[in-house]
Amino acid sequence: MNLSRGRGRHAAWLALATGLVAAQPGAPTAPAAAEPAAEAASAPVSLSARKVYEQARTQLVQIRTLLKGRGSQTSVGSGFFVSADGLIVTNFHVVSEAALKPEHHDLVYVTADGREAPVAILQIDVLHDLALLKAADSKGRRFDALPLRATDAKPLAQGERIYSLGNPLDVGFAVAEGTYNGVVRRSFYPQIFFGGALSAGMSGGPALDQEGQVVGINVARRVDGEQVSFLVPAAFATALIARGRDAPPIKTPAYDVVDQQLLVHQAALTDRFLQQGWKSGTHPRYKVPVPPDVFMRCWGSSEPSRTGGLDVERSDCAMDTRIFVGDYTTGAISLRHESYDGTRLGALRFAARYAQSFRNESFVRLSPEHQTRPMCHEDYVDPNGLPLRAVVCLRAYKKLPQLYDVSVLVATLDQNQAGVQGRLDALGVSFENAQKLSRRYIEAYGWVR
Amino acid sequence: MGALARADDDAGARTAQPAGDDGSTAERLAPSMAGAPAPHARALLEVIDRDGHVRQVWTIHQWPARIGRALDNDVVLTDPHVAPHHCRLDHPNDGALRLEAGETLNGVMVGTRRVAAGMSAELKPERDGEIALVAGRTRLRLRLAEEPLAPEVPLATHAVRRLRVLPTFVLGVLLVAGVAFATYLDSDPDNFVRSAGNTLLAGLSIAALWCGAWALLSKTITRQGHFGWHLRVFLIAALALLGLNAVPGLVAFAFSWPWIASFAFIGTFVVGAAALYFHLLGVEPTRPNRLRWVVGVGAAVGIALTMWFNQQRTGRLGDELYMAHLYPPGLRLVRPVPVERFIDKLGALHATLDKKAREPATDDAFASDPGNDGRDDDN
């Protein structure tokens, strides 16, 4: 399908900084150096912010990932103590290099007064992007801990002030004041919409309410907006602590844990996706599968040809939520379709253009280190009597057994001068669910009665 | 004296060696010019150039005839690979024509047979009444007076030329129509005229340059341009390639045979090799067998390399990951399969994918950049 034109605009809308780590792969710290100026423009810190920071200062740490044997840092994030015996909560993406490639990376924490000590990973939660660490020098030491807001506490009201703490861009510990804006709409897992400025490096830092209790953990922001940031609700951290506080440290690459959690995720994702059904009235002639806007968001556009050629209308649906797994993200579903009208072209010319669009599809996503090359199965099918050309391509993850990416590409073949081409992509699903999703997607096509 | 072929010798008028392209004519005319009766020639020994033309002709009036580099030979060859007394041809009245090799390192090739120093061989004319010999690096052709002559070859008459002009013209019209149709398919209605003009102009230029270059090569080597030949080869090859562009895709679409389109490049190689062969035939007409081998091996190597490259790049031998040739729905001849069965067949990929997932990534021939499917909105 012809994607090249429509997509750029959406990408700007949808692009989400999954990583607040200063040194993302491919995004070194250098460009971030320009950002502090923008940071200074945020709201002046109020008295209560100062109070909150004073109280939380000793509980706050910076988490550094160091290259083994070199000592130079490959990424930095933030974290905070949650227990007197040295448990630290941070984001998974802050420690992902150390968790997935422990042979190359060391992890240390640095306190506000500059004390540095190694730290071990006890448990991770890739679905909510959390990690539980333990200070390796905890023997005989007592740490100040931040209290997590109780799971059953009265929810904050929209507009209440909250304070996000962390070490932005490795510049120094900082407090960013903002507002609580409820839960993010259309997120697959609940996330808090924080109306404040977060920067790379603050990932994993706590966001505190007026009483100094942790309401959430800094995780992401929208790069295309202003002060549109996201927090992981504290309840998930509470659950992670309960689950992992006595676990032995993870010393080998944590792909097996990631794999297990992704398998749980894909089961939930597939179920919820298939349960929600499809929107109706998506095309005047065909039933074309478009998901309702529950945890996906659809954008449409219309492109009439300026040269008397093919008129195209598109719809592009994607999830905001994606699961960060080190070098890539996965665990998401997206759909799109394009509706072609070539009345002015004639049958043969329309077919040529329609085929060109069908050809213009890629089924390669990750490098061979992470994924196999695609393998496809194709044939003519006729769900509900509507003839389609269907191609299903699958890729297997190399380090995540039993997880696959599936892409389904279909083109309607009943009219000489018009048609619809659709595509479903499900990243990181089991083979069984890949088959189930493909089937349900293809079966959703048909005639409008 | 030896069987010096020179008629002039008998007349005592000239002793000079024959030389030059027109030697034969000059030689045959010489006796009458000298006004002396010429004995019948027994044989004609021609020195053949590498382009197949006759470089020098020796008329043999008497057997035996001695051939070599030394000046006391009847036939003197200026070739460093020829011995001073290389060989001797004898034709006793009661016997067959024989060749005796003299003191030579290289011997004499009679057809494909080598006659070494001191050996002798009987010479038998080929079907065309001629005997092919190679002494050193000099190609010789011996024609015997008693052998029947091949019939006269008519010149290409106007009628014959007209017979060739019409098919060439038809081929040209077909090609122009084909190119115009392909342009029509690829352009929007508002742009068609301009696109067609551009394509035709480009096509004509390419055709002229291509055929001109081949004709130049032909002219350099065979002394004839053979432009018409090269033009016909070009037209037929271009039409075949145009057909190959559409037909495998159409068949793949009609019968749901993706492999046909995926391996259509084999057809392209075959057409290309055939075109090259016929072009080369216009340049080197004397060695069709060798050309066939060269071109055939070239095509096989090209196909093998393409497959190897595909295998490295995509893990498949064919060109296409999936069949992306769509034609008007009426041209589909196979019936759709039920969705259930389609999805079940997907299951066959499971084991293969799992096996490949366990293989370590070894190649770095990864052509596409990750995330180019456009679904990567992260960061």
Give A294-344 pLDDT, tens digit per residue. 899 999 999 998 888 899 999 999 998 899 998 999 999 999 999 999 998
Q: Which of B126, B105, B129 is nearest to B115 (CA)?
A: B105
Does residue B320 surpass a pLDDT of 50?
A: yes
Give the gap in angstroms from C-alpha B304 to the nearest C-alpha of chain A: 21
- The confidence score (pLDDT) of residue B40 equals 79
Pairing between strand B65-68 and B75-76?
Answer: parallel
Q: Chain A residue with minimal CA distance to B341? A: A381
Report which residue type is found at A53.
Y
What does the pLDDT average to over B243-270?
A: 95
Q: Do A413 and B329 touch (CB under 8 A)?
A: yes
A154-197 confidence digits (pLDDT tens): 889 999 999 999 999 888 899 999 999 999 988 999 999 999 99
Task: Name the range with the highest mean pLDDT among B221-230, B274-283, B367-376.
Answer: B274-283
Q: Is residue B347 part of a domain?
A: no
**How many A-B residue pairs are in contact by the CB < 8 A criterion?**
187
Q: Is residue B32 part of a domain?
A: yes
The H helix count followed by the E strand count for chain B is 10, 11
Q: Quick one: which H or E segment has residue A333?
A: strand A333-341
Identify the bridge partners of residue B44 per DSSP, sorted by sequence position: B59, B143
**DSSP code for A207:** E
> Is B326 an 8 Å CB contact of chain A?
yes
| Extents of the domains making up chain A | 14-250, 260-447
Q: Is residue B130 part of a domain?
A: yes
Give contacts of A367 with chain B, Cβ < 8 Å: 361, 366, 370
Q: Chain A residue with minimal CA distance to B339? A: A381
Q: Do A377 and B348 touch (CB under 8 A)?
A: yes
One domain for residues B171 and B128: no
Q: Is residue B332 part of a domain?
A: no
- The confidence score (pLDDT) of residue A45 equals 55
Cis preceding linkage at B336, omega within 30? no
Does residue A27 surpass a pLDDT of 60?
A: no
Substitution target in A255, A361, A376 with the highest count of B β-carbons within 10 Å is A376
A6-16 confidence digits (pLDDT tens): 333 222 221 22
Give contacts of B326 with chain A, Cβ < 8 Å: 351, 354-355, 358, 389, 411, 413
Give contacts of A305 with chain B, Cβ < 8 Å: 188
Of A204 and B374, the one with more pLDDT? A204
Which long-range contacts link B358-364 to residues 24+ away (Cβ below 8 Å)? B358/A398, B361/A367, B361/A368, B361/A369, B361/A398, B363/A368, B363/B312
The phi, psi pair for B196, rounded to 5°, reads -60, -45
Does residue A17 surpass a pLDDT of 90?
A: no
Q: How many CA atoms lie within 13 A of B51 on its CB side?
A: 12
- The confidence score (pLDDT) of residue B39 equals 66
Q: Which of A119, A69, A127, A65 is nearest to A95 (CA)?
A: A65
Q: Is residue B208 part of a domain?
A: yes
Instruction: Work out the percent of chain A whose per-residue pLDDT is above 70.
Output: 90
Q: Do A307 and B330 touch (CB under 8 A)?
A: no
Q: Do B342 and A377 touch (CB under 8 A)?
A: yes
Give the gap in angstroms from C-alpha B322 to the nearest C-alpha of chain A: 7
- The confidence score (pLDDT) of residue A402 equals 95
- R_g (Cα) of chain B, nearest Å: 32
Q: Is residue B364 part of a domain?
A: no
Q: Chain B residue with minimal CA distance to A416? A: B328
Structure tokens at B121: 């061989």
> Mean pLDDT across chain B, nearest whole number?
83
Structure tokens at A422: 């659709």
Does residue B81 surpass a pLDDT of 80?
A: yes
Band of residue B288 on the pLDDT scale cut at 50, 70, 90: confident
One domain for residues B172 and B139: no
One domain for residues B110 and B177: no
Query: How many domains in chain B?
Result: 2
Residue spans of alpha helices (H) in A324-430: 347-359
User: Is the separation of the CB atoms in A427 and A397 below 8 Å?
Assistant: no
Task: Check which CATH number belongs to the domain holding B74 and give it.
Answer: 2.60.200.20
> Which of 328-347 (B) contact A at CB < 8 A?
328-330, 332, 334-340, 342-343, 345-347
Report which residue type is found at A187.
S
Distance CA B186, CA A301 (A): 24
Q: Do A348 and B328 touch (CB under 8 A)?
A: yes
One domain for residues B303 and B165: yes
Domain limit, last residue, from B285, B314, B343: B314
Distance CA B229, CA B244 (A): 22
Q: Do B345 and A379 touch (CB under 8 A)?
A: yes
One of 3.40.50.10190, 2.40.10.120, 3.20.20.150, 1.10.150.120 is the CATH number of A14-250, namely: 2.40.10.120
3 state SS of A111 = strand
What is the DSSP code string of A403-416? Answer: -EEEEEEEEE-S-S
Distance CA B220, CA B211 (A): 14
Task: Name the range with the highest mean pLDDT among B2-6, B14-18, B135-139, B275-279.
Answer: B275-279
Distance CA B231, CA B226 (A): 9
> ipTM value of the model?
0.84
Interhelix angle B158-186/B192-222, nearest 10 degrees:
140
Give contacts of B311 with chain A, Cβ < 8 Å: none
Task: Name the range with the highest mean pLDDT among A47-51, A281-285, A404-408.
Answer: A404-408
B137-154 confidence digits (pLDDT tens): 999 999 888 888 888 877
Inter-CA distances, A289 with A268, A334, B147, B204, Å: 20, 11, 87, 49
- The confidence score (pLDDT) of residue A139 equals 87
User: Is the separation of the CB atoms in A223 and A11 below 8 Å?
Assistant: no
One domain for residues B181 and B296: yes
Identify the bridge partners of residue A174 per DSSP, sorted by sequence position: A166
Substitution target in A320, A323, A324, A372 with the highest count of B β-carbons within 10 Å is A372
What does the pLDDT average to over A393-399?
A: 96
Does residue B364 surpass a pLDDT of 50?
A: no
> Is B327 an 8 Å CB contact of chain A?
yes
Domain limit, last residue, from B118, B144, B170: B144
One domain for residues B19 and B130: yes
Residue in B337, B366, B379 closest to A380 by CB: B337
Give contacts of A427 with chain B, Cβ < 8 Å: 375
- The confidence score (pLDDT) of residue B124 equals 84
Distance CA A68, CA A66 (A): 6
Q: Is residue B123 part of a domain?
A: yes
- The confidence score (pLDDT) of residue B160 equals 63
Does residue B22 surpass a pLDDT of 50?
A: no
- The confidence score (pLDDT) of residue A305 equals 87
- The confidence score (pLDDT) of residue A108 equals 94
One domain for residues B122 and B238: no
Residue in A358, A364, A394 closest to B353 by CB: A394
pTM assigned to the model? 0.79
Identify the bridge partners of residue A319 per DSSP, sorted by sequence position: A296
Identify the bridge partners of residue A299 per DSSP, sorted by sequence position: A316
Does residue A20 surpass a pLDDT of 70?
A: no
Q: Which of A348, A413, A375 is nearest to B336 (CA)?
A: A413
Fold topology of A260-447? Protein Transport Mog1p; Chain A (3.40.1000)
One domain for residues B165 and B83: no
- The confidence score (pLDDT) of residue A22 equals 34
Measured over the CA atoms of residue B319, residue B322, residue B326 and residue B331, the dihedral's sign is positive
Give the gap in angstroms from C-alpha A254 to the nearest C-alpha of chain B: 17
Residue spans of alpha helices (H) in A3-136: 7-14, 29-32, 36-40, 47-56, 92-100
> Mean pLDDT across chain A, nearest whole number?
87
- The confidence score (pLDDT) of residue B29 equals 37
Band of residue A33 on the pLDDT scale cut at 50, 70, 90: very low
- The confidence score (pLDDT) of residue A307 equals 85
Domain limit, last residue, from B314, B339, B354: B314
Does residue A26 surpass a pLDDT of 50?
A: no
- The confidence score (pLDDT) of residue B351 equals 95
Q: Do B373 and A396 touch (CB under 8 A)?
A: no
Residue in B335, B339, B358 closest to A443 by CB: B339
Instruction: Work out the percent of chain B whose per-residue pLDDT is above 70.
Output: 83
Distance CA A79, CA A184 (A): 23
Q: Which of A390, A393, A405 is nearest to A442 (CA)?
A: A390
Give the gap in angstroms from C-alpha B372 to the nearest C-alpha of chain A: 6
One domain for residues B300 and B269: yes
One domain for residues B104 and B233: no
- Rounded-to-10 torsion of CA A85, A91, A97, A103: 20
Give contacts of A355 with chain B, Cβ < 8 Å: 249, 324-327
Distance CA A187, CA A297 (A): 10
What does the pLDDT average to over A238-244?
A: 95
Q: How many CA atoms lie within 13 A of A380 on its CB side?
A: 21
One domain for residues B127 and B167: no
What does the pLDDT average to over A254-275?
A: 96
> Is B353 an 8 Å CB contact of chain A?
yes
Q: Is residue B329 part of a domain?
A: no
Q: Quick one: which H or E segment has residue B312?
A: helix B288-314
> Is B153 an 8 Å CB contact of chain A?
no
Distance CA A401, CA B366 (A): 22
Of A71 and B137, the one with more pLDDT? B137
Q: Chain B residue with minimal CA distance to A317? A: B375
Interhelix angle B227-255/B192-222, nearest 10 degrees:
130
Does residue A70 surpass a pLDDT of 60?
A: yes
Does residue A5 surpass a pLDDT of 90?
A: no
Does residue B133 surpass a pLDDT of 80?
A: yes
One domain for residues B176 and B295: yes
Q: Which of A449, A406, A440 is nearest to A289 (CA)?
A: A440
Give the residue numbers spanning the domain of B35: 7-144
B34-77 confidence digits (pLDDT tens): 445 556 788 899 999 877 788 999 999 888 899 999 999 999 99
User: Is the separation of the CB atoms in A75 and A91 below 8 Å?
Assistant: no
